[in-house]
Amino acid sequence: MTVEHDGLIFDVEQSGPARGPWVVFLHGFPVNSQCYDAVVPRVHEAGLRTLRIDQRGYSPGARPDGVDAYRLDKLVSDVIGILTHLNISYSMLVGHDWGGIVAWHLAARYPDRFTGLVAVSTGHPSAMRDSLEAGSDQRQRSAYIKNFVADDAEEKLAARNGILLRRAGVTAEELKPILAPGALTGPLNWYRANFTGNIAEALACPPVEIPATMLWSDGDAALGREQAEFSGRYVYSDFRFSVLKGVDHWIPENASRALATEISLRSSRF
């Protein structure tokens, strides 16, 4: 189905048991919500109902012009607007990569709307700051971002059917939507809007006061252990740090069973 918000049309998918508790899935770069294809059926088996959102820049009807249209506050308000339109008062949050950053902000800013958080790969923004100050290798891991904010990023990433992204682990099938004409600019504008200028101010996030799980994999080339583990400093509620061994950055696709298990555990009241 589609939902209109802020003059944009978002593609969303609702599925699962009709009376199950809601779980909202937020994807990262460069894939849309199909990255959770293998996770969602397992979550349904646990009695949970799911909402997947193709976010701003990924839904064909939600690709506004201009970098400022992709600032973090817009990305956060999109999710709240969609949930309000669908009359979803309470839900759990799951976010991977960029979706994790959005999810941390949602959990921090709207604790009355969310029952729990499962952040995948991406730690709390303040934990990322701590990891950089601690002298970890996170700055080196994040060096790729300078290529994503460059003016010629679309041309380079789309070259040879997205060879650079495929080498990073994204499948050709996942890349099809983003390699359509004009489809790559919106997702790259997430980086340009929030990883240029005063980055600390753009990403600043309050502590989280709802239960949270941080799921990180030791084969992640982009995001190190410190930024994940330090996230516990900014969760003023139950916090679980879970490590997947031998798994790369693409946890939803390559460790779907483990992710579904963490979601089920976090959704439990006991």
Domain definitions of the chain by residue range:
2-267
pLDDT at residue 270, rounded to an integer: 45
Give me the residues of the chain with pLDDT under 50, please: 270
pLDDT at 269: 59
Predicted structure pTM score: 0.96
pLDDT tens for each residue of 134-164: 888 999 999 999 999 999 999 999 999 999 9
2-267: CATH number: 3.40.50.1820
Is the bond preceding 30 in cis, omega lying within 30 degrees of 0? Answer: yes
**∠ CA 102-105-205, rounded to 5°:** 125
Q: What is the per-residue pLDDT for 117?
A: 98
- Two tokens, residue 202: 């753009």
Task: Output the pLDDT for position 202.
Answer: 86
- pLDDT for the residue numbered 135: 82
Is residue 249 within 8 Å of residue 217, measured between CB atoms? Answer: yes
pLDDT single digits (tens) 84-138: 999 999 999 999 999 999 999 999 999 999 999 999 999 999 999 999 888 889 9
Give bridge partners of residue 212 from the DSSP assignment.
117, 239
